[in-house]
Structure 1
Amino acid sequence: MSEKVISIVAALIRDEAGRLLLVRKRGTAAFMQPGGKRDAGENDVAALMREIDEELGCQVVAESVRPLGLFDAPAANEPGFRVRAAVYALDVAGPVMPQAEIEEAVWADAAMLSQLHLAPLTRDHVLPLARLP
């Protein structure tokens, strides 16, 4: 039986110090990019804007959104599933405050990343794009 695929959008967000914003959903262990599934009729940018507002209470700076590619990885929280993620680099405005299903948000530097349990998409695809070890 073939693996099932979850199609998502994900954001690579860095602060002025170059740290990477990672989130952890309530009841899970893996840190990952903010983002999520598209609602019916939503394009990638609209989905990212909605998800980041809902999950983190901050706003995407629309003119900052840059596509980085489409990546496949094992899903961090759904055994037997894969994620197919359209990943975008973007900037946010306003304070980052975890809400909705997000339990924790961290600004991770290279040293902190080695201490975190990272989702496969983050570890295998996003960190190389972010040029953090």
Structure 2
Amino acid sequence: MGCVVDSAVIRVSAVVLRDSAGAVLTVRKRGTARFMFPGGKPEPGETALQTAIRECREELHLELDPSELQSRGVYRAVAANEDGFDVEAAVFVSTTVLDRDARTLNPAAEIAELRWQPLDGSAFPPDLAPLTECVLPELV
């Protein structure tokens, strides 16, 4: 009997960030069409929480305090940008409310675009990543 590795799964951390109106920040990476939560893959030895904090720093120039991130759980969906893979994400919700008009968020690293997604009951746009589509309805 041997070990089985689920090699078709990409493990990531994702962070839900809100503004004062309750809208949620989504990002689009360069060369892609889908919007998703900020986050990414862990570096060797990193915990899911450490990954979430580092990715927000690298992608948005945003410093998050670990005490301000609450685990929402682990979600799995079809990967948006890697054919044949699923993504399994440790999702964290930040208790910090961001001021989107203060220009405090600066897309960096591989981030091409920021977009705030309102949670006002209107239909979600068709260009959301599958994982984001799974999590957003639970945040309403």
Normalised by the size of structure 2, how large is the TM-score? 0.84
Distance 1:92 1:101, change over 3 A: farther
Deviation digits for residues 8-50 of structure 1 (CA, Å, limit 9, x no counterpart)? 0101111111010000000100000000011111111111111
| Gap runs ≥5 in structure 2 | 1-5
Partner of 1:122: 132
**Pairing 1:18–2:18 present:** no
Aligned length, in residue pairs:
129
Percent identity (aligned): 43
What is the correspondence of 1:76-95 to structure 2 with a 5 Å cutoff? 76-90=80-94, 91=96, 95=104
Structure 2 residue matching 1:121: 3-state secondary structure: helix
For 1:18 and 1:100, the matched residues in 2 are separated by: 26
For 2:97 and 2:87, the matched residues in 1 are separated by: 24
What is the correspondence of 1:1-133 to structure 2 with a 5 Å cutoff? 4-90=8-94, 91=96, 95-110=104-119, 114-124=124-134, 126-131=135-140
Runs of 4+ in 1 over 4 A off after TM superposition: none
For 1:10 and 1:101, the matched residues in 2 are separated by: 15
| Gap runs ≥5 in structure 1 | none
Distance 1:116 1:20, change over 3 A: farther
Cα RMSD (Å) of the superposition? 2.0
Q: Which moved more, 1:58-67 or 1:16-25?
A: 58-67
Check the 8 A contact 2:22/2:119 in 1, yes or no: no
> 1:83 corresponds to which letter in structure 2?
V
CA shift, 1:128, in A, is: 1.9
Check the 8 A contact 2:60/2:105 in 1, yes or no: yes
> 1:99 corresponds to which letter in structure 2?
A
> 2:39 corresponds to which letter in structure 1?
G
For 1:116 and 1:15, the matched residues in 2 are separated by: 22
